[in-house]
Amino acid sequence: MRQGKHHDLFFAEDRGELLNFLDDLIPQEKLQWVSEDANTSGQLQCLTTTIEPTLTPPLLSPTAEEPASLLNGHEKPRLLRYYKTVMCKWFDCCDPSKHWSTTILELAETCLPLKNAILAVASKHLSLIGNMDESVTLHYQSLAFRELLPALSSSAYELDMLAAVALLRFIVQMTANSTPDSAERNAISLLGIEVFVEAWSSNPHSITHSVIFMNVLRLYIHAAWTSKQSLLSELAKSRWKRCTLMDSVYSDLSDPRICNGRITLIAAQMLDYCYDNEPKTAERWPGLCEKLDAWLTNKPASFDPIEECEPTAAQPFGAVRFDEEIQAIAWVYYCIAGLMLINNAPPSVVFWFSKEVRGFGFVQELAAKPENHVIAFIRSQSTAGELNKLAVQHRNIDVVEADLFNPESLKKAADEVTAKTDGKLDVLIHNAFSAGTEAMLYKPTEFTGREQELQNEISEAIKGNVLGPIYTINAFLPLLRNGTEKKIIYISTGAGDIEVIRVSGQPGQLGYASSKAAGNAVIAKYAAELADEGIKTLSLSPGWVNTDAAQMLQQNEVMFNYFLKSFQKVDPNLKGPISVQESVQAQLAVIAALDAATSGRFLTHRGDATSWF
């Protein structure tokens, strides 16, 4: 069997030989035998339903008259040069052999529609930057369509035709007033991505087919990302899955263009995972994470940004600068893929409030296991700190803003989480709190004559440590009912334990200690009410932990010694606070052991009611 001039045509001695060869690549109903002599010789062509609809040229001017600016004859060489030196940076960015600036340019010498498509794409770009009249684009675009459309029905898989269509699609997408949807509609009336997938899968060894496909794929990634729709139809997807060469073609990450192609394919796969109809299971998700991580680890060092700016309130993801366009393009696809994963983790949920050191420690510890989906709540992006960075590294973290003292805000947050987790929640950990007011260290009798301060101190603490948790639990209860673990954890404090107060002899923190003790009672009430539904609750003290607050305390020697000495009355062996990691790991073990028998209790991070430090 011979392969034709272009890789999409095969010549065989007889029809049977050809059908056997293509059996696994193309469904029989899509093949048509064009023969001069019955079964013995001829051409086999692929037909596809996607090229059958009326091929209405999008966005064309009614006439294709030569604009006056072309009459001087200098424009064509200028446009061809512009295409080769400027536009091909984009078209060739996934292709080490740079086919768009070599082979495809050569094909244009004998293929008028392709040549006109090249002239149209170059003039379109120049017109967008204000260096050419839009009528030039319309002229070439119109010529290209006029010649292309009749030719497509018989040679849709010819390389020159595919390249011309890809370029014309690119122009549609470049049109400023075209929304992703309208661009997509226009583009589909031209040729769908299915045709390009089929063309490549029926010519799996043709690099030129692959690079044409890659450029169309990139247009689709943009459309899928902005319109939140699946990238490929089911038909195209089955073809794509068969195209196993895809991974091997883009495997040598030491080549920058291959490396770029690889991340483009990964981004496409992420978009498909996010918007396809298949269940987002815990099995599928880690595989995609691994692909993305492998790309990040194995990409050449030259792909690292040359400058990274820290996130700010105005620019929560910071800013990055690169050496060359190709690396910036790759980074865009990396970010698309990363964000898709962050927002579409499977619904196995641990839910978390607060961002600061311990909250951060919890998120870190939980997110290290890919099967967890951690939803980290913060009051506002302005205090998100390192959390966004962590969320980019660990795609099983979702960051959601909510004011936990505000039921309205919590309701909105619950809706947001419902959408992310299919309405399920396994464990709710309520960590945020209020320490009270500036009067927090007053002893009870010192409030004599300071009743307003007393009222503020108590109500502020009650708002944060009693009402806030009730609002939160009630807002998320419907999700917890759908969860598997059904656990509500209230992070409390030993300072709210009567025996600790009695033994340590600390008279301060009136609002904080009493509101946390009230919070413990509330949590026991929830246990009583929800036991029949299998929902378990726990008040949990984290110990004395080396958070930012504890470190600040250590800088004030007098204060630190005061607390240390009074805590040592409870535990004479105490030397100081424990690490965040130790506290978090110990608490997670207690949470894991929580069952119906212990529900409603107030326990230490050691799992008992006595080891507070």
Q: Which amino acid is at 154?
A: S
Largest interatomic CA distance in the chain? 110
CA 518 from centre of chain = 40
Whether the CB-CB separation of 547 and 356 falls below 8 Å is answered with yes
The rounded distance, in Å, linking the Cα atoms of 272 and 231 is 6
Q: Which 169-198 residues touch ligand NAP, going by CB under 6 A?
A: none
- Helix (H) or strand (E) holding 300, with range, is none
The tokens describing 105, both together, are 């340019």
403 binds ligand NAP (CB under 6 A): yes
Q: Which stretch binds ligand NAP (CB under 6 A): 200-208, 220-228, 536-544, 560-568?
A: 536-544
Residue 114's nearest CA partner among 125, 124, 103 is 103
Place of tokens 């396994």: 426
Identity of the residue, 424 or 516, whose beta carbon is nearer to ligand NAP in the bound complex: 516
The tokens describing 485, both together, are 């673990």
CA angle 577, 582, 584 (to 5 degrees): 105
Q: Which stretch binds ligand NAP (CB under 6 A): 343-351, 431-439, 532-540, 589-597?
A: 431-439
Binding mask 296-335 for ligand NAP (x = CB under 6 A): ----------------------------------------
User: What is the total count of residues that contact ligand NAP (CB under 6 A)?
Assistant: 24
Identity of the residue, 275 or 560, whose beta carbon is nearer to ligand NAP in the bound complex: 560
CB of 494 to ligand NAP, least distance (A): 6
CB of 452 to ligand NAP, least distance (A): 22
602 binds ligand NAP (CB under 6 A): no
Strand partners, 37: 41
Among 317, 405, 447, 562, indicate the residue that binds ligand NAP (CB under 6 A): 405
Q: Which residue number is nearest to ligand NAP in terms of Cβ? A: 356
CA angle 478, 480, 483 (to 5 degrees): 120
From residue 510, alpha-carbon distances to 66, 104, 195, 430, 503 in Å are 85, 78, 72, 21, 16
From residue 344, alpha-carbon distances to 276, 481, 568 in Å are 12, 21, 47
How far the first Cα of the chain sits from its last, in Å, is 80
Query: What 3-state class would DSSP assign to 154?
Result: helix
Query: What 3-state class would DSSP assign to 50?
Result: helix
549 binds ligand NAP (CB under 6 A): yes
- 350 exposed, middle or buried (CB, 10 Å; 0-12, 13-18, 19+)? buried
Identity of the residue, 296 or 549, whose beta carbon is nearer to ligand NAP in the bound complex: 549
Identity of the residue, 219 or 584, whose beta carbon is nearer to ligand NAP in the bound complex: 584
Among 6, 7, 218, 358, indicate the residue that binds ligand NAP (CB under 6 A): 358
544 binds ligand NAP (CB under 6 A): yes
Identity of the residue, 115 or 379, whose beta carbon is nearer to ligand NAP in the bound complex: 379
CB of 359 to ligand NAP, least distance (A): 5
Strands (E), 25-149: 31-37, 41-46
Among 550, 586, 590, 591, indicate the residue that binds ligand NAP (CB under 6 A): 550
560 binds ligand NAP (CB under 6 A): no
Among 141, 421, 547, 599, indicate the residue that binds ligand NAP (CB under 6 A): 547
CB of 50 to ligand NAP, least distance (A): 50
Among 208, 215, 354, 506, indicate the residue that binds ligand NAP (CB under 6 A): 354
Q: How many CB atoms lie within 10 A of CB 38?
A: 10
- Helix (H) or strand (E) holding 185, with range, is helix 180-190
Identity of the residue, 421 or 509, whose beta carbon is nearer to ligand NAP in the bound complex: 509
Q: Which stretch binds ligand NAP (CB under 6 A): 55-63, 140-148, 259-267, 545-553?
A: 545-553
Query: What 3-state class would DSSP assign to 250?
Result: coil
Among 338, 483, 542, 600, indicate the residue that binds ligand NAP (CB under 6 A): 542
Whether the CB-CB separation of 46 and 29 falls below 8 Å is answered with no
Among 223, 545, 584, 603, indicate the residue that binds ligand NAP (CB under 6 A): 545
Q: Which stretch binds ligand NAP (CB under 6 A): 90-98, 192-200, 227-235, 546-554?
A: 546-554
Q: Which stretch binds ligand NAP (CB under 6 A): 20-28, 49-57, 246-254, 397-405?
A: 397-405
379 binds ligand NAP (CB under 6 A): yes
CB of 343 to ligand NAP, least distance (A): 21
Residue 400's nearest CA partner among 387, 313, 478 is 387
Q: Which amino acid is at 227?
A: S
Q: Which 473-512 residues touch ligand NAP, going by CB under 6 A?
A: 491, 493
Identity of the residue, 295 or 563, whose beta carbon is nearer to ligand NAP in the bound complex: 563
Strand order in the sheet with 536-540: 397-401, 373-378, 349-353, 427-430, 487-491, 536-540, 602-603
Among 39, 41, 244, 383, indicate the residue that binds ligand NAP (CB under 6 A): 383
Residue 520 neighbours by CB under 8 Å, 6+ apart:
490, 492, 496, 539, 602
605 binds ligand NAP (CB under 6 A): no
Identity of the residue, 84 or 379, whose beta carbon is nearer to ligand NAP in the bound complex: 379
From residue 175, alpha-carbon distances to 9, 134, 187, 340 in Å are 34, 11, 12, 26
Place of tokens 């927002």: 343
Q: Which stretch binds ligand NAP (CB under 6 A): 3-11, 157-165, 215-223, 357-365?
A: 357-365
Among 209, 355, 394, 536, indicate the residue that binds ligand NAP (CB under 6 A): 355
CA angle 308, 312, 316 (to 5 degrees): 85
Q: Which stretch binds ligand NAP (CB under 6 A): 48-56, 121-129, 426-434, 556-564?
A: 426-434
Identity of the residue, 164 or 580, whose beta carbon is nearer to ligand NAP in the bound complex: 580
Identity of the residue, 41 or 551, whose beta carbon is nearer to ligand NAP in the bound complex: 551
The rounded distance, in Å, linking the Cα atoms of 233 and 194 is 8
Identity of the residue, 348 or 354, whose beta carbon is nearer to ligand NAP in the bound complex: 354
Among 396, 431, 537, 604, indicate the residue that binds ligand NAP (CB under 6 A): 431
Query: What 3-state class would DSSP assign to 540?
Result: strand
The rounded distance, in Å, linking the Cα atoms of 157 and 515 is 73
Q: Which residues bind ligand NAP (CB under 6 A)?
A: 354-359, 379, 383, 403-405, 431-433, 464, 491, 493, 541-542, 544-545, 547, 549-550
